[in-house]
């Protein structure tokens, strides 16, 4: 959490620590190595790599967090309703999930880019359309296990409506795996955004992200490795921190995992 807080603070404070805007082109100072003037060096257009790494982190972290929240809301409600309803309703809803699972991410992004245009909105929509499926399956499985417990049967016997049983009893008791999966879905979304930016389907210049910077830096890695190293290091640290956080959350809220 401390590492994530440091990375997040750097993305917002970093651009204010130097006098160079992230999109400022200076053809007289291209591919400059790291120095006192340019802490991470400059790219092929003379843009400051430190400023672009900080601003690119905003896009990458924003995509990951927003996609995770959509994953939590949509996947939890969908999976909870399917598991609680059971029968043919559950069968139809989960077959729809299977169909969506079969759709690759790239065609979805290309289609959304044609409709929404390339940008953060299309990336978030594409990742959110695919990411919630795993959450829905997880929540459905938890609800199927919990709805046979005595306290759920007692709640139904008292005449509580289904939505109160779901949100008041079932989902709170399934919070441990839900929180762990949500923390895990953030690096998954970050990696998806980095991959899409790497293949040219992400944010467009002059806007940038860590994935886009890794893509640009890989083209000149042998000559100017710093253009690749700094955004790749930031991306790797963020994903590692989220993975460790997801494991820690699972152990913190699940007594069986602690044992």
Q: Are 138 and 177 contacting, i.e. CB atoms less than 8 angstroms apart?
A: yes
Q: Coil, strand or helix: which one is 204?
A: coil
Mean model confidence pLDDT for the chain: 82
pLDDT for position 205: 73
Q: Are 55 and 208 contacting, i.e. CB atoms less than 8 angstroms apart?
A: yes
- pTM beyond cutoff 0.95: no
pLDDT for position 259: 54
pLDDT for position 113: 67
CA-wise closest residue to 170 among 89, 79, 70, 75: 79
Residues in CB range of 50: below 8 A, 6 or more apart: 14, 18, 38, 39, 40, 230
pLDDT in tens, 8-26: 888 888 888 888 888 788 8
pLDDT for position 233: 92
Cα torsion for 225, 227, 228, 232, to the nearest 10°? 130
Q: What percent of the chain has pLDDT over 90?
A: 1
CA angle 56, 17, 227 (to 5 degrees): 45
pLDDT in tens, 237-246: 998 988 888 8
Q: How far apart, in whole angstroms, are the C-alpha atoms of residue 232 and residue 235?
A: 5
pLDDT in tens, 30-72: 888 888 888 888 888 888 888 888 888 888 888 888 888 888 8
- In the chain the domains, ranked by start, together with CATH numbers, are 2-7+38-258 (1.10.3720.10)
């Amino acid at each position: 959490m401390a590492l994530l807080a440091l990375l997040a603070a750097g993305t917002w404070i970093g651009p204010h620590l130097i006098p160079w805007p992230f999109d400022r082109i200076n053809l007289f100072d291209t591919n400059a190595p790291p120095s006192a003037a340019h802490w991470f060096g400059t790219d092929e257009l003379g843009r400051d790599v430190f400023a672009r790494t900080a601003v690119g982190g905003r896009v990458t972290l924003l995509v990951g967090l927003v996609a995770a929240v959509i994953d939590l809301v949509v996947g939890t409600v969908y999976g909870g309703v399917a598991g609680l309803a059971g029968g043919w309703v559950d069968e139809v809803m989960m077959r729809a999930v299977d169909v969506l699972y079969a759709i690759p991410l790239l065609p979805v992004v290309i289609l959304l880019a044609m409709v929404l245009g390339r940008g953060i909105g299309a990336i978030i929509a594409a990742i959110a359309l695919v990411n919630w499926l795993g959450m829905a399956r997880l929540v459905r499985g938890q609800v199927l296990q919990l709805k046979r417990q005595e306290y759920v049967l007692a709640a139904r016997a008292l005449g509580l409506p289904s939505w109160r049983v779901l949100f008041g009893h079932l989902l709170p008791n399934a919070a441990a795996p839900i929180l762990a999966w949500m923390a895990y879905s953030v690096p998954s979304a970050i990696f998806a955004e980095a991959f899409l930016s790497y293949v040219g389907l992400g944010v467009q210049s002059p806007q940038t992200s860590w994935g886009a910077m890794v893509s640009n830096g890989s083209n000149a890695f042998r000559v100017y490795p710093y253009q690749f190293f700094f955004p790749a290091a930031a991306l790797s640290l963020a994903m590692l921190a989220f993975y460790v956080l997801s494991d820690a959350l699972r152990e913190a809220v699940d007594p069986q995992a602690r044992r």
